[in-house]
Structure 1
Amino acid sequence: MSEKIRAERNRTLSLSQNEIPELKKKLLKLPYDLSHSKMPLEAVLNKTINGDLISVLPHLPDEFADLIIVDPPYNLSKNFNGNSFSARSEDSYDRYLSTWFPQVCRKLKQTGSLYICGDWKCTSSLQRAVQKELKILNRITWQREKGRGAKTNWKNGMEDIWFAVKNQDDYYFDVDAVKLKRRVIAPYKTDGKPKDWEQEESGNFRLTCPSNFWDDISIPFWSMPENTDHPTQKPEKLYAKLILASSRPGDVVFDPFLGSGTSSVVAKKLGRNYCGIEINEEYCMFTEKRLEKAETDKSIQGYKDGVFWERNSGA
């Protein structure tokens, strides 16, 4: 694993040769003592599991997670640091989902929530897979403002997140924790007083309830300290919304496709427990290095003083 030479202002996370041995020691790898059919919760809590999802899932305790965030390979040809995923027919992708998604759902508590990410091409497959196991409550669409242009089609600037629960009569959702702070362009007053907005030194603002369309997310890029070399890294701000809305402090957040660790890192920053599975060892080490940084730096870009700010607002 060679160290990359980066520009002076590039803050993308990297691994030095000196760090690697200690980071590897922190990873939980199979073979674990599999004389037990299930690992005890304490063995996987706040751990990064380096292994294949299909091999690991049977050994995780059932119904241990309060919240599951899933960011699977989309139905695209993509190379994840040597682990390639090839685009396939819709039927084939449906079958791929069926090999692991029902098992993932068995790890969710009866009162738990699950979010699964996708793009326009695979979102119908995701909907079919989710509705077989859970109760779908909503589909979030978020604006992915970064991406390649297209000459013969519309540029893909959106992604979806399906929101589902096991029991639609008994699940946790904290709307006050995920309100968005927006600038008021035309402040309206009643009897000379602001109506549903507040005047601050830097301007006029209103706290608004979140909708299922999010246009305030920034994709990690080279000048952001959360950025890694993972090709499809999700922003910390995006996952912070899911975690704050659908889990309490001390709850367990599980991510079966951990990637470079965003869900675990954000869970830690927000006072939750975490567990994640990732097949690529380097991405697991990215996760552990980010978790180390989260010990002293709890900041999340775009989230400050208990509220989410509009994109490019400086928060």
Structure 2
Amino acid sequence: MSKLTLPLDRIVCGDVLPVLRTFPDNSVDLVVTSPPYNLKNSTGNGMKNPNHGKWQNAALVHGYANYDDNMPHEEYAAWQHEVLLECMRVLKDDGAIFYNHKWRVQAGLLQDRADIVYDLPVRQIIIWRRKGGINFNPGYFLPTYEVIYLIAKPKFKLVPKANAYGDIWEFTQELNNKHPAPYPVALIDRIISSTNAQIILDPFMGSGTTAVAAKQLGRHYVGIEISPEYCQMAEERIANTKAESKKQPISLYSFTE
């Protein structure tokens, strides 16, 4: 891929940071993503000994395809922070990042992801309340929500009336999906349709949910995914998705600094 080329309506199969660094500044309207959570490094959720109970048949026990989800915590936080900084670089001045993550207890202490988002312009935290969950730790209650950080550039605004949704959203987790940790299309639809964004980037595309929602809404997508297996899964889902409205034409596939 050449420098200053944005691959519209494509998923680039590759490592997130090297690929992101080839994208031009100020070229996407919105970033919507949910990264790997580094769950296998956790001390508090039972995945270290998954030979019994509900984790026994959980796909995440084996990690993701091409990624085992088990980095040293400091390395993981630094990696995620760097990805977010690159996403800020490629965002237009009226853009925003919706960054879905999960709080967890590590060594008896709450990790609130401050070591990932610490110097970024977090404007709001949205609570995604989901049904179900697993908790093997008797030291705290079953977590039933995840957090979405709205990291916004100064000129970012929602479309009229979208602010009436409030900051607690309830969506059932995606069940009919072979990816080990998918999120629901309806959640991403809520985010994208609340903006006028025409080009939506997901640097951890997974099974293609962000692209599916973007296509349904007649928007353009750009994806990055390290796993060839998930890239193929995403492309198949996108091919089977019908657009509900006509996309606005984007005249520039290449951008200049």
TM-score class normalised by the smaller sequence: 0.7 to 0.9
Matching of residues 260-275 of structure 1 within 5 Å: 260-275=207-222
Residue number among 30, 46, 49 corresponding to 1:67 in the alignment:
30
The answer to whether the aligner puts 1:228 opposite 2:214 as a matched pair is no
Structure 2 matches for 1:1-315, cutoff 5 A? Answer: 32=1, 34=2, 38-41=3-6, 44-77=7-40, 78=60, 79-86=63-70, 88-89=72-73, 91-121=74-104, 124-125=112-113, 127-133=114-120, 135-150=121-136, 152=138, 153-167=140-154, 170-177=155-162, 209-215=164-170, 217-221=171-175, 227-248=176-197, 251-295=198-242, 298=244
Q: Per-residue deviation at 1:115? A: 0.7
TM-score of the aligned structures, taking structure 2 as reference length: 0.77
Higher relative contact order (CA 8 A, sep 6+): 2
Quickly say closer, same or farther: Cα 1:92–1:58, change in 2 above 3 A.
closer
Provide TM-score, normalisation by structure 1: 0.64
Superposition RMSD in Å: 2.2
Identity in percent: 28
Instruction: Check conservation: 2:66, 2:226, Cα contact below 8 A.
Output: no
Q: State the structure with more CA Rg.
A: 1
The alpha-carbon distance between structure 1 residues 253 and 123, as it changes in their structure 2 partners (threshold 3 A), is farther
Contact persistence 1:123–1:160 (CA under 8 A) = no
Show structure 2 runs of 5+ residues with no match. 41-59, 105-109, 245-257
SS in 2 for 1:132: coil
Alignment deviations for residues 193-219 of structure 1 (CA, whole Å, 9 cap, x no partner) = xxxxxxxxxxxxxxxx3111112x011
Using the alignment, how far apart are the partners of 1:73 and 1:87 within structure 2?
Answer: 10
Q: When the two structures are aligned, how many residues end up with a matched partner?
A: 218
Runs of 4+ in 1 over 4 A off after TM superposition: none
Take 2:128 and 2:157, find their aligned partners in 1: how far apart are those partners?
A: 22
Moved more, 286-295 or 151-160: 151-160
Give the whole-Å Cα distance in 2 for the aligned partners of 1:128 and 1:138. 17
